[in-house]
Amino acid sequence: MRVIVSSTAPGLEQHQGTDLLCVVRALLKKIRRRVLVGDRVLVGAVDWTDRRGMIEDVFERRSEVVDPPVANVDRLVVLFSLDQPQPEPATLTRFLVEAESTGIPFVLAFNKVELADDQIISYWRDRLKNWGYDPLFLSVDQRSGLSALEEMLEGQTTVVVGPSGVGKSSLINALRCNQNISEEDPIHQLLEQNSKWFGEQRVGPVSKKSGKGKHTTRHVSLLPIVDGGFLADTPGFNQPSLMKVTKRGLAETFPEIRKMLEENESSGCLFNDCVHLGEHGCVVKGDWERYPYYLQLLDEIKIRESFQLRTFGTKREGDVRYKTGAMGVKQAEPRLQLKKHRRVSRKKLNQSILDEMDSDMDDLDDDYQFGVSRRTSKR
């Protein structure tokens, strides 16, 4: 993994801004401590000449995105296109639900407005307004509508998500082009090192046969920009997993349901665990466009939660315990399972052997008595 040095020990300040190619400490893998793109990490065993090191610990995350796996995200950009490929309401709903579930501020944007007429743009603007969103409409090709997004980048870590082919990499290239980086900027040192991060991201055409995008970006890249911000280019995918969305929390990811609950705040639903399926006393009605999508997602989450309950149960001891070290720093270490890792005591082992011998003697006595009884009966 590649790490940008943001702070160093006294006397090594000249290395701030350097990028290091690092391996992950074996202990972190043993305790299943995954290192994500965007993590703040502690690096040791640094070789400043070859710019290499080892990731020894991961600091606590302030936020985390599952699809794609990125940590410490300040903002999400959910990007779709008005054409090539056209937006699908079911897919768009899944992306919006995933973004809502993270609790991270996000903006919905539509690219390729040059391929659509004013009627289509107006149609989607009004439709999304009924959903509870105010989307941005932009054109990467014509460099229009980008100013609103540029204001979000300063000092922010922004993740661009969306299906393949909507122009995520093209948007990032447009937002990062013509950057005037001063020599005082820490990123200037990366530029002098000929870092590949300052090259343009690969883009690909939309498939003529299916009308959908092709997977051009194959890994998550955190790309530095001026003023201390970062942009994450992520692989396109059409089905977010929604693994963090629960049956009880799904309703909170739909602005339409939130609005109905706010309008009926005084009365509210009759039951606290209402999932808004037309239960007695439910204030959420089914006369809104995305209600069928809500029902589909609710069924999907119920099936997943039922499977997880059967597979893992409700109680599961953690694999990691935390130990407070020097300076009050908490360090993670693997939790040993006593039955698997502790050696059986010699006393307990000897006792088990004696018990086994006694059991064998009892079996011999039973066999002897059984034989005597059989011989007696024959007489």
Q: Which of 82, 102, 92, 127 minimizes the C-alpha distance to 297?
A: 92
Indicate whether 198 pLDDT > 60.
Answer: no
| Span of 129-133, 166-170, 241-245, 349-353 with lowest mean pLDDT | 349-353
| Residue 53: its H or E element | strand 52-58
pLDDT of 80 above 80: yes
Q: What pLDDT, in 10s, does the model give residues 273-311?
A: 899 998 888 999 889 999 999 999 999 999 999 888 887
Give mean pLDDT, residues 141-147. 88
Q: And the tokens for 289? A: 């466009």
In 46-105, which residue ranges form alpha helices assigned H by DSSP?
A: 89-102
Phi, psi of 43 (to 5 degrees): -110, 135
Identify the DSSP state of 78.
Answer: E
Please give the pLDDT value at position 100.
Answer: 96
Highest-pLDDT range among 253-257, 349-353, 356-360: 253-257
Structure tokens at 57: 């610990």
Using only the alpha carbons of the chain, give its radius of gyration: 30
Q: Is the pLDDT at 178 greater than 50, yes or no?
A: no
Domains of the chain: 2-60 (2.40.50), 65-178+216-233 (3.40.50.300), 247-311 (no CATH)
| 108 membership: H or E segment, kind and range | strand 106-111
Query: How far is 30 from 28, CA to CA, in rounded Å?
Result: 5
Give the tokens for residue 123.
Answer: 């149609």
Helices 255-263 and 118-131: angle between axes, nearest 10 degrees:
50
Please, which pLDDT band fits residue 81 given cuts at 50, 70 and 90?
Answer: very high
Q: Does position 344 have pLDDT exceeding 90, yes or no? A: no
Choose from 36-40, 89-93, 204-208 the range with maximum mean pLDDT: 89-93
Q: What mean pLDDT, rounded, does the chain reach?
A: 79
Q: Residue 68: what pLDDT?
A: 78
